[in-house]
Amino acid sequence: MAVEEKVEMTASEREIMRVVWTLGEATSKDIVDVLEAKKAWKPATAKTFIGRLVKKGFLLAEPEGNKYIYSAAIGEEDSVKTAAHRLFDQICHKQAGKTIADMLSEAPLSHQDVELIQQVLNDKKKHAVDEVACNCVPGQCKCSTH
Amino acid sequence: MAVEEKVEMTASEREIMRVVWTLGEATSKDIVDVLEAKKAWKPATAKTFIGRLVKKGFLLAEPEGNKYIYSAAIGEEDSVKTAAHRLFDQICHKQAGKTIADMLSEAPLSHQDVELIQQVLNDKKKHAVDEVACNCVPGQCKCSTH
DNA sequence: TAAAAACGATTACAGTTGTAAACTAAGGTC
DNA sequence: GACCTTAGTTTACAACTGTAATCGTTTTTA
């Protein structure tokens, strides 16, 4: 089960996390260097985000000499999954299928990805329903007129 | 082509938009009533969001007597698509497939949805590549170790 | 017609976010 | 040992967000 992200991670903070997810363990210098190149952030900016991520509990800071070794407290996949959930929570369940179809049509995919998705889809075929139940409040989706 | 949302729509603002998308045209009262029921927002709160949406250009306000008739300046599907894009912009292209598979596996789908997705997937099969190109900065994804 | 209700506009105010400079303490360098 | 670099901490500050109260008008209602 995915980690519950009660606190939110912003897009900027995610940039920091990506470095840590990639490196496994990173010093602030590792992080600062990557983001200075990619986003032209000043070292102080990256450091602010590091501090906030530690405070939010997304980054672990292990003291090592006079500095810290940072590592992720949450997995990248879980985090992306949580972000995707947040998006889907904002739309009617009935629209989920269409939305996924949209994303799918625009995503760059490898043969392997296609294969994986096909497998999941096959499984879905067995459990699909005739009509997805609406999860909206009256007046907040067109289900009645569907 | 999807509308470019340079300005962002927050989750709270999207709640307002959903009412308008559903009703097509709405008065502030229509909106206030739905959100008062769903989110327990005070009328003033909903009105603040309405004002911000108008300023951001997501809502059109047509004067009608002493009030306004609100309508959406952007389609719901486009908006959801844009939001999905923003999410995918935050992850490595190589992860798109896996992420879609995750979302797919958790989404509530109807037979019709499954059919639609299967069609898109079939099309994808023809254009899938052997390996998706990484769109990351060095140090920000594990492509080198893939 | 005087009071009440409704509507939009203005103001408020704390918390979050993006962006960073300044400060401080520890370590390495000449 | 005096100084520069480095890492972390503190402070700054404007914009955006969530959450609303209040104000000024207009419209409805008793």
- DSSP letters, B33-67, are HHHHHHH---HHHHHHHHHHHHHHTSEEEEEETTE
Convert the pLDDT of each residue in B36-47 to its tens digit.
Answer: 999 999 999 999
A30, A100, A109 member nearest B117 (Cβ): A100
* pLDDT exceeds 60 at position B1: no
- Amino acid code (one letter) for B139: G
User: Please, which pLDDT band fits residue B146 given cuts at 50, 70 and 90?
Assistant: very low
Least confident segment among A2-11, A22-31, B41-50, B105-114: A2-11
What is the C-alpha separation between B102 and B82, in angstroms, rounded? 19
Whether A95 and B80 lie within 8 Å, measured CB to CB: yes
Q: Which fold has domain B11-72?
A: Arc Repressor Mutant, subunit A (1.10.10)
Domain range summary for chain A, segments of one domain joined by +: 11-72, 92-138
* Residue A45 CB in 7 A reach of strand C: yes
Q: Distance (Å, rounded) from C-alpha B92 to C-alpha A82?
A: 16
DSSP-derived letter for residue A70 is E
| A-proximal residues of B, 35-54, CB under 8 Å | 37-38
| Cβ atoms of B16 and B46 closer than 8 Å | yes
Residue B124 scores a pLDDT above 50: yes
Q: What CA–CA distances, in Å, run from B139 to A25, A37, B142, B143? A: 12, 10, 7, 9
Distance (Å) of CA A140 to CA A74, A86, B35, B80, B86: 34, 18, 9, 15, 24
Q: Which of B76, B84, B125 sits opposite A103 (nearest CB)?
A: B84
